[in-house]
């Protein structure tokens, strides 16, 4: 046993709210328009800028080599926050929430692990790379993760090409087909030793590993220590820190047996195979010359400057649109727009008209002045470009520039000339948020938002969805300053008849409570309003500030709102009408990030010929929130919402279990047009909890073997996830995920899609029987009930992967599928196979729908019968488990024989000395 002193390593995690990002472009082998943004809470330090430049420059050379001369980093923009000195050029359409790489301060002590947030499946681009300032500044991390440039390439592969890690911290070892205990790695040519690591304080000891009798694998404290010097160049997605590693695993070096996320998500394909099938690879050829060094541009985010550009054409008088627009814009001005922002207002029909020049949001009075300037008359035609030109003039009022300024464009009409000013939109470098109201809004609106990479919004003429207020509530500065951002807690509406009630509950948690508004809207007659705090205090309409023209009532809770459940009841006294309740708040403490939810679809457009995926990320800072009830509402042009419960169980559309990303397939297309997404989240005390993020991280290595001796890295503080799962408490959130468009669909009836892929199949050998379990898919993606299951097995993982239909078919005649989302369990006795020590079997399955349409083949589950020794025995990685068992068994048998023989001899000797009984 060896005692080794190691230095403590502070591990931290940072916070942020992220949204849709600007696309990085590949041009002549070089990536350009890559934005690296620094969070406003990061203290100004020019050394961070130096380290970013060094990292990306180093990464460019490493990426160029690893990709065979196909890719390098050409153009990088570093976006500095408003909190840094104003010595840099003003940013244009770049923003923190759209950046593909973010640098942020820690929130809770968990880790400086560089990681990439990935939502989707294999080959799908990730959302962002997260690096902490300490990772950039502290060289202690070089021994842990390797050179920063190499780490950046590891994360870039996650982000750009949608590949996954080739290690697995939850399953660090597995039994190979050769009945050996192997470290989970790629390639298998990486050598090292496995030792048990135990640390107390800053002192650690290492000793030989023992076998866990339950799994026949090394025990939980056993770690794989790779040799510092290797003879293999692969793989970057396993351990980029090794000096010899310069390549991704390809088909020749890929370890398809390893139980890692790359094999699970990418169907046992190599990382290089995924990259080769990417759009980047197909549009590039290897360069024959050395690429230039990256070019860096430093820019700073300015104050938020916004112009509301509001349609007042004649059609806005229909369906009460004008008043609804005023209600929603008032919510934006009084509750949503962040303090310190500058706001102007322009209306347009056939011409543009300035209603309010730029005015700074300083207090409640300045907000009310802006709200009074909202338009109240609708007439004329619709010429969006005339309005845009007027809005540009207003935006130039502060610094003679429109760079980085924002326009909120709302319109309900068609305009065939809108395409004529798209070049002006591009050259203005203005961020344009578009809100399409009703079914006839100009189809070109999405193009304007796509130019600047922001969400598009839409609202129908159905009032009970509260869609128009949701659209305005979904617009934020994009600065990354969550303390200043308005958080929507509730957004509900209901058509209620005469003498009927509309009731609801809003849970205010400890992360929010400042600047809390309860806002009620109605169509015709003011309802009776009753609001009860958690302590039992009742507020009535008399406590609300009412506007009888706009049909709104608003209550601001003084100070920090009381935590707990707030109950509201709205009573309609007269004719049937729609009433709504909107609740917004801000962070209770600037040093504690609020619980947030962000939602989006996996794509902006669809032809209705394949399922789409709904995603909602629930988090506090960068920590995932688990155990929440998440519901999506997808509204078509007709205003009828389709309701989906989103899941975080690792099945169906959900790629990773318990990562705070809740997902579900959407298949209920109702024809062409715009669809809007809204997500509501409810967390309950004792159920909703924080957890650590486990996927997409660069691997932490406890140490290396150099000259036959283990050299330990600084210790990573242990994190017991059971202890770490902090109770979040009860909370309510509501958010919009913007708009997506269906085009090219024939008719209004969607096709019947195949059952979704089974992605969590597990297998176990119990005596002579096989036990399988998985989450049931649906008949139509993850909806309904599948017709039948097809299960096959093989002694070869590769044969089962390559030719599923040729594998041995399992009799499932007694197995009846359950509804989608149910837990399926199935046991059977395999025919013509004797389960004995050393047996390893592989299983895969697929589901059939009502019309016998088949799902993709599931993940491959492994079941092994490897008998452990009677007592834990020290092993090294790669030891033949069966051989060890036989040796131990032989030794035990020999000892037993020796003892028996000795006893027999002793007994005979004793009998010879005893006199016979008479």
Residue keyed to tokens 């297309």: 669
β strands within 561-611, DSSP E? 564-572, 577-587, 595-601, 605-606
Report the C-alpha gap between 543 and 688 in whole angstroms: 33
Q: Which of 231, 278, 234 is nearest to 254 (CA)?
A: 234
CB atoms within 10 A of CB 353: 15
DSSP string for 610-655: S-EEEEEEEEETTEEEES-EEEEEEE-TT--EEEEEEB-SSSTT--
For the record, the structure tokens of 297 come out as 């541009």
From residue 126, give the alpha-carbon distance in Å to each of 22, 38, 156, 441, 826: 12, 19, 9, 32, 36
Report the C-alpha gap between 467 and 446 in whole angstroms: 17
For the record, the structure tokens of 168 come out as 């697995």
**What's the alpha-carbon Rg for the chain, to the nearest Å?**
31
For the record, the structure tokens of 156 come out as 């870039």
Between the two ends of the chain, the Cα-to-Cα distance in Å is 63
Q: Which of 769, 765, 809 is nearest to 789 (CA)?
A: 809
Report the C-alpha gap between 838 and 833 in whole angstroms: 12
Residue 738 Rama label (left phi>0; alpha psi -120 to 50; beta): left
Q: Which of 118, 120, 141, 142 is nearest to 129 (CA)?
A: 118
Q: H helices within 311-401, ranges in order? A: 321-331, 364-372, 384-395
Report the C-alpha gap between 183 and 258 in whole angstroms: 8
DSSP string for 756-807: PPP---EEEEETTEEEEEEE---SBBTBSB-SEEEEEEES-HHHHHH-GGGS
DSSP assignment letter at 915: P
DSSP assignment letter at 857: P
Longest CA pairwise span in the chain (Å):
134
Query: Residue 431: helix, strand or coil by DSSP?
Result: strand
From residue 725, give the alpha-carbon distance in Å to each of 109, 508, 657, 689: 13, 20, 15, 6
Report the C-alpha gap between 503 and 571 in whole angstroms: 9
**Catalytic (active site) residue 155:** yes
Q: Which of 479, 474, 459, 525 is nearest to 325 (CA)?
A: 459
Query: Residue 474: helix, strand or coil by DSSP?
Result: coil
H-run or E-run covering 60: helix 46-66
Q: Which of 94, 125, 155, 349 is catalytic?
A: 155
Query: Residue 339: helix, strand or coil by DSSP?
Result: coil
Q: H helices within 301-383, ranges in order? A: 321-331, 364-372
Report the C-alpha gap between 276 and 254 in whole angstroms: 14
Q: Which of 370, 114, 103 is nearest to 240 (CA)?
A: 114
Report the C-alpha gap between 39 and 83 in whole angstroms: 9
Active site amino acids = 155
């Amino acid at each position: 046993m060896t005692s080794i002193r190691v230095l403590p390593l502070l591990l931290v995690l940072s916070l942020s709210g992220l949204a849709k990002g600007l696309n990085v472009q590949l041009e002549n082998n070089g990536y350009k328009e890559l934005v690296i943004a620094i969070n406003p809470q990061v203290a100004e330090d020019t050394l961070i800028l130096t380290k970013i430049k060094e990292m990306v420059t180093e990464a460019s050379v490493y990426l160029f080599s690893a990709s065979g001369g196909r890719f390098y980093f050409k153009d990088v923009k570093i976006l500095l926050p408003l909190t840094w000195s104003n010595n840099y050029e003003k940013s244009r359409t770049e923003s923190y929430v759209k950046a593909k790489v973010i640098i942020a301060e820690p929130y809770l002590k968990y880790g400086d692990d560089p990681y990439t947030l990935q939502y989707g499946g294999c080959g799908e681009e990730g959302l962002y790379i997260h690096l902490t300032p300490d990772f950039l500044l502290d060289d202690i991390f070089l021994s842990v993760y390797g050179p920063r440039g190499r780490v950046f390439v590891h994360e870039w592969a996650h982000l750009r090409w949608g590949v996954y890690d080739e290690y697995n911290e939850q399953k660090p070892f597995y039994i190979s087909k050769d009945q050996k205990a192997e470290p989970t790695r790629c390639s298998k040519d990486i050598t090292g030793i496995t030792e048990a690591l135990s640390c107390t304080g800053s002192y650690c000891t290492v000793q030989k590993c023992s076998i866990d009798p339950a799994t026949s694998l090394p025990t939980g404290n056993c770690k794989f220590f790779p040799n510092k010097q290797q003879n293999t160049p692969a793989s970057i997605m396993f351990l980029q820190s090794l000096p010899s590693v310069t390549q991704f695993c390809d088909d020749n070096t890929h370890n398809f047996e390893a139980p890692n996320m790359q094999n699970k998500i990418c169907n046992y394909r190599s990382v290089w195979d995924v990259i080769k099938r990417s759009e980047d690879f197909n549009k590039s050829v290897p360069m024959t010359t050395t690429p230039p060094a990256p070019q860096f541009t430093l820019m700073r985010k300015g104050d938020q400057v916004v112009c509301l550009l509001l349609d007042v054409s004649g059609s806005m008088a229909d369906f009460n649109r004008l008043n609804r627009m005023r209600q929603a814009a008032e919510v934006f001005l009084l509750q949503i727009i962040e303090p310190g922002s500058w706001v102007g207002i322009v209306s347009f029909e056939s011409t543009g008209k300035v209603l309010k020049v730029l005015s700074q949001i300083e207090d409640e009075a300045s907000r009310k002045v802006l709200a009074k300037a909202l338009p109240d008359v609708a007439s004329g035609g619709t010429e969006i470009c005339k309005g845009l030109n007027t809005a540009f003039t207003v935006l130039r009022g502060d610094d003679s520039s429109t760079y980085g300024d924002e326009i909120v464009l709302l319109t309900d009409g068609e305009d065939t000339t809108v395409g004529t000013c798209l070049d002006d939109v591009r050259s203005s470098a203005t961020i344009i948020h578009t809100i399409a109201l009703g079914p006839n809004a100009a189809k070109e609106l999405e193009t304007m938002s796509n130019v600047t990479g922001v969400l598009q919004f839409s609202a129908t003429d159905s009032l009970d969805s509260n869609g128009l207020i949701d659209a305005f509530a979904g617009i934020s500065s994009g600065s990354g300053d969550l303390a200043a951002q308005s958080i929507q807690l509730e957004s509900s509406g209901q058509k209620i008849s005469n003498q009927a009630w509309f009731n609801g509950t809003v849970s205010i948690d400890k992360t929010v409570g400042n600047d809390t508004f309860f806002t009620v809207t109605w169509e015709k007659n003011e309802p009776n309003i009753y609001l009860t705090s958690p302590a039992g205090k009742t507020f009535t309409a008399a406590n609300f500030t009412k506007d009888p023209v706009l049909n709104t009532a608003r209550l601001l809770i003084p100070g920090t709102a009381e935590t707990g459940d707030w109950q509201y009841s709205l009573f309609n006294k007269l004719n049937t009408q729609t009433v709504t309740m909107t609740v917004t708040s801000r962070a209770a403490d600037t040093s504690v990030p609020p619980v947030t939810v962000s939602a989006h679809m996996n794509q902006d457009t669809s032809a209705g010929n394949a399922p789409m995926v709904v995603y909602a990320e629930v988090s506090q800072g960068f920590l995932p929130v688990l155990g929440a009830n998440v519901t999506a509402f997808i509204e078509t042009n007709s205003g009828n919402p389709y309701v989906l419960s989103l899941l975080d169980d690792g099945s169906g559309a959900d790629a990773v279990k318990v990562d705070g990303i809740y997902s579900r397939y959407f298949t209920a297309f109702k024809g062409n047009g715009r669809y809007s997404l809204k997500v509501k989240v409810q967390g309950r005390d004792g159920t909703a909890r924080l957890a650590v993020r486990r996927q997409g991280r660069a691997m932490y290595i406890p140490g290396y073997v150099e000259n036959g001796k283990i050299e330990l890295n600084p210790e990573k503080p242990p994190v017991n996830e059971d202890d770490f799962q902090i109770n979040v408490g009860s909370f309510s959130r509501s958010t919009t995920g913007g708009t997506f468009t269906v085009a090219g669909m024939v008719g209004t009836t969607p096709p019947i899609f195949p059952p979704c892929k089974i992605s969590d199949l597990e297998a176990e050998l119990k005596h002579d029987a096989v036990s399988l379990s998985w989450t049931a898919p649906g008949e139509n993606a993850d909806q309904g009930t599948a017709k039948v299951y097809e299960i096959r097995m093989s002694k070869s993982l590769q044969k089962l992967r390559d030719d599923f239909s040729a594998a041995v078919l399992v009799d499932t005649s007694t197995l009846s599928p359950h509804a989608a989302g149910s837990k399926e369990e199935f046991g059977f006795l395999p025919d013509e196979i004797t389960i004995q020590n050393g047996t390893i079997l592989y299983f895969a399955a697929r589901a059939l729908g009502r019309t016998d349409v088949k799902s993709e083949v599931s993940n491959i589950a492994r079941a092994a019968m490897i008998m452990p020794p009677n007592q834990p025995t020290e092993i090294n990685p790669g030891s033949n488990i069966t051989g060890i068992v036989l040796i131990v068994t032989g030794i035990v048998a020999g000892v037993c024989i020796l003892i028996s023989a000795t006893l027999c001899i002793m007994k005979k000797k004793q009998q010879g000395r005893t006199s016979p009984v008479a």
